[in-house]
Structure 1
Amino acid sequence: MSDPDKSHSGLSSGPGEWLPIQLAPDDCDLELGQPHKTGILPLSFPCRRRAGVWFNVWADEAVLISPSHWRIWRREPSRTNTHI
């Protein structure tokens, strides 16, 4: 019996699951990762690919690495106080 939470394309992977960089979409915030002896080492900032070049979304600077994996960037909850 197949797992209903996984699609055949691999694009409906569970939260936090790394996908091959070849499947990375353009023009959306992604978390990139590189192989490390302990597993996949994530970058600490969101990235986007534009014209084949990866950019740090926060600094709008090119990222000079060759990532091997990606997953959707998950924003941390806001730590600012909200006034009611």
Structure 2
Amino acid sequence: MNEARLTGLKASAAVLPGRLAPGWQSIAGAPYDLDLELAVIDAEGPHALVFPCRRGVPGWVNAETADPVDVHPTHWREWRD
């Protein structure tokens, strides 16, 4: 994962070392048209994005800007401000 993509990831405070914190659900069941917090898992472990995303027919978008988000999330949970 390149450095530019890492700037959009939360610090590991949102997750437990080596695994996701409680409340995360499999990405397969992610709802459409709801602000979601997405998690990705890479070689360094799980990370959560720092902005809300929405699942759309063509893929994931930033819920604040409607820009496409080029990620392959593994888990989701409802976005909380």
1:24-77 residue CA offsets vs partner (Å, 9 max, x unmatched):
0111000001014564200000000111410001121000111111001001xx
User: Going by fraction, where is helix more abundant, 1 or 2?
Assistant: 2
Larger radius of gyration: 1
**Residue matched to 1:5:** none
Amino acid in the other structure paired with 1:41: H
* % identical aligned pairs: 41
| TM-score using structure 2 length | 0.66
Q: Secondary structure at the match of 1:22?
A: helix
Structure 2: which 5+ runs fail to align? 1-20
Structure 1 gap ranges (5+): 1-14, 76-84
Aligned length: 61
- TM-score, reference length from structure 1: 0.64
| 2:76 maps to which of 67, 70, 76 | 70
Q: What's 1:23 paired with?
A: 29
User: Which whole-Å CA distance do the structure 2 matches of 1:73 and 1:23 have between them?
Assistant: 15
